Structure 1
C-alpha cells in the first residue's frame, strides 16, 4: 500500500505522524510519500519541500506568498497524480491541501481522498463542507459533534478522537526537574507564553503577550516565563523576546510537556495548544487576532460566541478569551492576574478541562490508530485486526 500525505503546519505534522504509526502497525510494509514536518519525516515521509513554507494563516498573510503557494499546489498535485497512491490523505491546512486534492483529482479522477480534521463549519463558513464534498471522499473528525455536518454534505466521516487526549502527560518529577534545569524555584510563579506556531501569529501576538506578562510581573513577584515553541519559529521567538522583562526561557521539542506540567498559568493563542494545556490541567487565558482586513471579514461570518476548544467541547465558557480588538495587553494581563490570585477560577477551568479530555477520548484507543482503521475502512485497505 502506498499513501500520499500532506500536512502544512506543526499540528498537522503531529496528526500525520500518529496516523502513520497506526497505519504501520495495521499494514506492515505500507509506504508513504508527500509533505510533512520532522515528526512525519521520522515516520517515513521524505518531504518534497519544507513544510514551514505552508504555515501561513489569514487572508492578507497568504497574498504575498500566493504565487509561490500556487506553484507548490501544482507541483504537489502533479506528484500525486504521477504516484498513483492508494489514497491521498490531506491533513488540515485546507487552503493548501484541499486545493492540491482538487487539482490532483482533476489530473486523475480515480484518486481516493481522505481529509484529516473536519473544517469548523459549526463555527463559521458552513458552506465549506459542501465545497469539500466533490473532492473529498472521507473525513477524520477530531471533535465528537462534527460527523453529522460532514455526512449532511455527502461525505463519510468518523470521529477518531483528538490526539491530545492520548499525549504523554509529564509527571511532577519531570516538572520539578524542568524548574531546576532552568533555575526556577519550586515555589516561584511560572507563566507559559504561547503566541502560536506560525510566523504571522508570533509577530502579531508575541509583542502583546510580552507586554501583558510584563504588566503581570509588576503584581506577581518573582514571575518566571517560559515559551514552548516549534522549530519553524524558534529563532524568531528567541530574537523577539531577547529584550522582554521578565526574559523568558524558550524551550522546544521534548521539553514542552515538562514545561506544561511545571506551569501555574498560561497565556496562549487560540488553537490546539489550548487542548495541550488542558491535558496538563494548566489554567489559561486565550488571545487571538488577525490583521485588520481579515478581522473585519471574520467578524461577520463567525457563528459562535467562543473559539476556544475547551469551552466548545465542555460546553462551558470557563476559559477567558480575548479576540480582535480585545486582544490587548491590559485585558490579557488582568485575566492572567486573576488566575494567579483566584483559586475558584482555576478550579472551574480544571473541571472543564477534565470533561474535555474525557469527551475527546482519553483512556481509549490512541487516536492515531483509530484514524488508521478509519482510513483503511474508507479506502478498502486490508489491515491486521490487532
Structure 2
C-alpha cells in the first residue's frame, strides 16, 4: 500500500488534543503514514516534529493579535509553502480558523491538495456566512456536533460528525467522589462547584457576581460547601476571589503531579451536587459527570450589544442545544444577576433530576458508547480521500 502523506496543523491545546487522537487513529488504520506540520505535545507524542512552537499561534483578541500580526502572517506563508513543498495526500487543519483557514486558502490557490478542517465553525450560533466562505478552500469538515453536517453540506462541503472528545475523557466513579468528600471534610453536606472561567477577563468580570450569588445561597443554606477547580492560568486570581468565601476548597492544578490534579478535578465534578459555571464546553464536562448545573455569563457592553444582534439561537448552553431541550437554566448578559443566579441554584438543588435525562441524551448524541472520536475522524478522512 502506498504510504499516506499528511500535513496536519493545530494552533492551541484543544486542537493539539484532537490532532493527537486523529493521528493515532490514522496510524492504526494506515501504519505507513508520514506526518509533517505544526502541533503541540500530544501531536508530537504521535510522531510529529513541529515546524515551530505551536504556542506562537495561541493568541486571542484584537489587542493580542495586532502586535504579532506581521509574525503570524509570515508563519501563515511559511506553513502554506511547506504544504506545497511536501505535496501531501491531505492537509488537515484543526480549529484556530484565523491561522489554519488562511493556510488552506493559500494552498488551494496554488494546488488541488485535498483540505480537511476539523471542528466546524459555529454557524448555527452566529455569522452563518462563514460556511460559504470556508467552502472556497475546504473540501471536507469533521464536526463535533450531530446537528452541524447539514449546515456544512449546504455550503458545498462534505461533512462527517465524528463525535465530541468529551465522550472519550475519563470520568470519576462514585467511589472517587466519596473519597474526595472525605479527604476535604465535606462528608454528606451539599456541595456546590463554582467554575468562574479559564481567562482572566472572565474571572474579573464574573467573579464579583458569583461572589454575591454565593453569599445569598450560603445565607439560605449555611451547611453548603463549595469547591472551585481553578484553571492554571487564573489560579491566583481565583484564590484571591475566593479568599472571603467560607467553607471553600480551591483546587490548584499547579500544585503536585498533573495527573493527580486531573484526578482531583474529575472527582470534584462527580462529587458536586450542583455547579455554577461560566458558559462554554464546561457544560459538556459537567454532563459527562452527571452534575446538574446553572450557567451564567456576561461580556463587555459593546460585545454584548453586537453578539445579541447576531445570535441565531435562544440558548448558549451546549447541553440545551444538543439535547434539544432548555432544562439547564442560564443567566446571560443583563440576566447575569446575583439574585437570579442564586435563585437558579436553589431551584436546581431542589430538583436536580430535571436535567439528568437531557445530560444523558447529550452524551449519547455526542458519541458515548461508540468508537473513539479520533478513530472516527481518521476513518472519515480516509473515506474522503477514497471518494475523491
TM-score by length of 2: 0.85
1:304 is the counterpart of 2:313: yes
Q: CA deviation at 1:77?
A: 4.1
Q: How does 1:1-386 map to 2 (within 5 A)?
A: 1-28=4-31, 30-45=33-48, 48-51=52-55, 54=58, 56=60, 61-69=61-69, 71-83=71-83, 84=86, 85-106=88-109, 108-181=110-183, 183-231=184-232, 233-241=233-241, 243-246=243-246, 247-252=248-253, 253-340=262-349, 342-343=350-351, 346-380=352-386
Q: Which runs of 5+ in 1 are unaligned?
A: 382-386
CA distance in 1, matches of 2:177, 2:15: 27
Aligned-residue CA RMSD (Å)? 2.6
SS at match of 1:322: strand
User: In structure 2, do the counterparts of structure 1 residues 110 and 287 end up closer, same or farther at CA, with 3 Å as the change threshold?
Assistant: same
Q: How many residues align?
A: 371
User: In structure 2, do the counterparts of structure 1 residues 125 and 229 end up closer, same or farther at CA, with 3 Å as the change threshold?
Assistant: same
SS at match of 2:316: coil
User: In structure 2, do the counterparts of structure 1 residues 200 and 171 end up closer, same or farther at CA, with 3 Å as the change threshold?
Assistant: same
User: In structure 2, do the counterparts of structure 1 residues 236 and 179 end up closer, same or farther at CA, with 3 Å as the change threshold?
Assistant: same
Q: CA deviation at 1:282?
A: 0.4
SS at match of 1:300: helix
Q: CA deviation at 1:235?
A: 4.0
CA distance in 2, matches of 1:52, 1:286: 32
CA distance in 2, matches of 1:2, 1:198: 37
CA contact (8 A) 1:289 1:295 kept: yes
Q: CA deviation at 1:36?
A: 4.1
CA contact (8 A) 2:57 2:99 kept: no
Q: CA deviation at 1:42?
A: 4.0
User: In structure 2, do the counterparts of structure 1 residues 158 and 178 end up closer, same or farther at CA, with 3 Å as the change threshold?
Assistant: same
CA contact (8 A) 2:190 2:224 kept: yes
Q: CA deviation at 1:37?
A: 4.5
Greater RCO, CA 8 A, separation 6+: 1
Q: CA deviation at 1:154?
A: 0.8
1:151-207, Cα deviation, whole Å (9 max, x unpaired)? 1111110011122223222111111222333x1323122222223334443443344
CA distance in 1, matches of 2:39, 2:220: 43
SS at match of 1:193: strand
User: In structure 2, do the counterparts of structure 1 residues 234 and 64 end up closer, same or farther at CA, with 3 Å as the change threshold?
Assistant: closer
Q: CA deviation at 1:275?
A: 0.9
TM-score by length of 1: 0.86
CA distance in 2, matches of 1:380, 1:225: 53
CA distance in 2, matches of 1:170, 1:20: 27
Q: Which runs of 5+ in 2 are unaligned?
A: 254-261
SS at match of 2:167: helix
Tell me the equivalent position of 1:384. Answer: none
1:335-384, Cα deviation, whole Å (9 max, x unpaired)? 112222x12xx111111111111122221111111011112222349xxx
